[in-house]
Structure 1
């Protein structure tokens, strides 16, 4: 049966090629076109005996009858395992079996060719064409419904496609230009625009004051300020009079309505008196509240005085601390000057030997003190000893000297004479909190040098930022300090300076900023005080970037400063 149907399909191919629509829209043998058009003639041969509609996806039974594929499927599904007779009752009918039902390609082809009317027949289209060409025709039919070109402007009209241009020429929503102000309007609103809105349309004064006609925008100014017949309100309007009229009528109204105005004035005065009484009551309540607030203010003042007294005490304590800090700073500067003279290797070794001797002496003294303590206040083996207080005093002096020498050794160990500073800042978060609280705004590094007799320098850092970077960035600055050999060095300071925040993760993402000094700046002249004004980068690195594992680890950051020593060999 498959071979037979295939031969029929080939033989019938030439038949649909003769159709004027076949070259662009050949029929499909797998189904029927969409929709339910109006047929020119639909005989029973093309009707399904089940649904009585046109055969859709026609199939043929063993007895030769045709039906819709879906209708047959529904019949078979409604009687599973049962007997389903052929929907056509005649002597040739048999029981339907699914394997004996086949597609009827020939009938499907004939149905494709059924002549139908255009869907827009009622609108005037008289086209009759094969069903399989209807969809293509509908897309180009001159009678298809088309909305107006000016639908976006509000036109609701839908016309046949062939009448679209004609309607557009007469559409009330077509755009036109006002001849007076050149504004774009729709044809429908043009008249209203000219009568009520257009600022350049010449109009007469609506008060008929006899003035010359002028453009609307000037007439509005005339009506508001110049027109002698413009409406004016009665001067007793605030009292309740609602009269409005021309200036002459207003004068007559004032004369005629004196009694009424007096009555309105009396009413207004009475209302003012009532309002005044209410205001007085409100004032009394306010005064009462004010008295309570005054008492609270007095208590607050007393508390404030006690706080001021306490603050004065704090200020005195702070002053004492500052004096001590200045004293410590002076001592530190003295130590730095001494350390400057201890850079020689021989001096370092000599200091080391002194430390060893002092350590030995301290151990000897500790042994003697221990012996004296055991001997008691009456003395030891010699029967005579120094008082214990004298021994304690000498031990304290030795401890102080030992601490001083230890501090000097630490400075000597960390000082650098190659123009490189490596600065390790511990307890970052605590120091930053101190900076936020105003306790310690900035930190100074240990000094470093371009050589044993070179420039003396240090770094200064604001962990909570300075200037533009305050609160958001770490600010890093370079400082030139007063050194022992400044008289032998060239001034101003001209060496290239590189500031770095070191990457503690993989060493490939250091934050680097380099600059050459501005020789006109006082920061790079020969210092006349202990140190010059710092200069550098207020926005060196943001806290968001800094406070990541790349740069901050174990609550510690590393800052490196490199000063180029090029050109300093001769010094």
Structure 2
């Protein structure tokens, strides 16, 4: 969930209450809390105009069928043709369903608790019958038991850690025998040559073994195949009396070594040939890598140029916003309007004078000289007219921006091209849109709206998310902080005007969203599940591919400068 969604979740938890998660076992489920379509418990209950209840998802599926759309209630009270705008959220049913008594999920493990559905998750955190893994699982224990029996299991667990009686090292209980027999350096063992010495710790016996009087000696020709062993004197006598045998063993060993040497030389030759092939492959790879590097450098240069262009665009946007903020007040606008009229009159007079000059110049005897003067004057006039056109365009833009500004804490945002903008949000091109700024007064707080047509946080893909943003203004140093005015978010009804959707919240003074802005705007705060897309895209709220969003800020009690 994004930071904006987290900031707004607490403010809208009551008005946007959701069905608790999971599929519990109900102690007793009243039929009135069953969905008329799926026959399961109502999830995020909605109610039709005729009073029947369905899951919010099931209600949307009704309109996947061929018209006329029938209410699943199928009785005399049902409307003949169900409409999307005639289905509304049922907060009362949602609250009642959240209080239905259910069994603990650990019932099969012995828990007999019966709790409200909304308390199930909290109960699971403390339930003594919750299945848990043995804490010695890291040592290999695969036992799974319930919380209340875990302590008893740990006392007799075969994989518990214990201390060795001899070396006092930390070992696993079921590996004690292996540790003592093969690894413990303080475990007493007997001499492997049975010299009669008493048992000693393994580390001390390892020092005794090389000097043991019973240690056997091997013939010096062991490496060529002689396996005679005995005392030092017996080995010396054997070596002196077995010269012919040792010579025969040496000859056989030498022949085997020569044969093995030939095999090694053959394998070496094969390896050299393989090395040549590998070298050729490596050269080809290096050539390919060089080409890739050149391509990468070109890409890096292209990316750098794109980044520079992005910075330039960002600077232009910042300058444009500053120009918008510096839009003149009504008295300046009136003055500029008078200047525009004067400029237009001047332009008309100049055009008339030019026409007369041209006519008079062509009729004089010195027509060539006059025509030259007229041409120079004409160029000068054309330059002046071009500058006037530029200034007129700037003034028109400032007038248009000023006409859309609001200074009474109310914003009405006309959002056109809904289908295209929503598709851009789904494709990830433009996830959110900002409205024009509006103000609580001429010298008051500066604010705007932010909308996610494809949803944000837990509303992504299913709802439209609507947020309120506090922006940095010119008079922030003179205003009280944090921002504490009540905010109401609305989606206006374009059909009958009787079904506008609204939610209100009082700002949290501890939230960064409502403190004095340190950047261009604070973190947005609002409702990630303001309205489902299925309900929004009805003729009640969407007409001519346009929706109207309204934000009202309570301006009472603001101490303006």
TM-score (norm 1): 0.43
Question: Which entry has the higher C-alpha Rg, 1 or 2?
Answer: 1
TM-score (norm 2): 0.44
